Structure 1
Amino acid sequence: MPEALKMGKEEELLKTAPFDPRFPNQNQTKHCYTSFLDYKRCVKARGEKYAPCDYFKKVYTSLCPFAWVEKWEEQISEGKFAGNI
């Protein structure tokens, strides 16, 4: 499978985020940020083990540059994040 990535004994199928009609343009920055917020809100409301939250995580990890996510996580831990979670 060319689209599969071998990780140890498991294979993980890599996919990009599906089309979302709320974000029809090529610039996906807003989609990235919204998915990050949706994931954090979902985890806050339902907990880490609630499987449907993983959808938002897959979307933001597919769309967002790692440096942005790292910065947002740092801001959250410092209490300086501007988003409403």
Structure 2
Amino acid sequence: MAEDIKAKLEKYRTAPFDARFPNQNQTRNCWSNYVDYYRCQKALDAKGLDTQPCEWYKRVYKSLCPISWIQKWDEQREDGTFPGKI
């Protein structure tokens, strides 16, 4: 399984189509992948496992989200005021 993830990450160019977000507006897709990345990190860290599979979410949200949004959300997470459940 880890080899499959590594192979996908090597071939990664941009966010693939996600059937949950079929419209042109990809704001929710951006948000979901950002939150999923940190949830994945938290869950795998708690179990003491390798967090490499989480990198997929990070690459997707970095290709979809404006940098200013990411910076704002990072600041909110650090301050403890982030509106999402991680």
TM score, norm. by length of structure 1: 0.80
What residue identity is the alignment partner of 1:40?
A: Y
Q: Deviations over 1:25-58 (max 9, x none)?
A: 0000000000000000000011394111000000
**Other structure's SS at 1:53 match:** helix
Which of 1 and 2 has higher RCO (CA within 8 Å, sep 6+)? Answer: 2
What residue identity is the alignment partner of 2:80?
A: G
More helix by share: 2
Q: For 1:84 and 1:51, locate their aligned partners in 2 and report how far apart those are by CA, in whole Å.
A: 21
More strand by share: 1
**Equivalence for 1:66:** 67
Q: For 1:14 and 1:84, locate their aligned partners in 2 and report how far apart those are by CA, in whole Å.
A: 27
Residue of structure 2 aligned with 1:21, choices 19, 22, 28: 19
**Other structure's SS at 2:16 match:** coil
| Paired-residue identity, % | 53
Q: How many residues align?
A: 74
Larger Rg computed on CA atoms: 1
RMSD between superposed Cα atoms in Å:
1.7
Q: Which runs of 5+ in 2 are unaligned?
A: 1-9
Q: For 2:43 and 2:53, locate their aligned partners in 1 and report how far apart those are by CA, in whole Å.
A: 12
TM score, norm. by length of structure 2: 0.80
Q: For 1:52 and 1:65, locate their aligned partners in 2 and report how far apart those are by CA, in whole Å.
A: 23
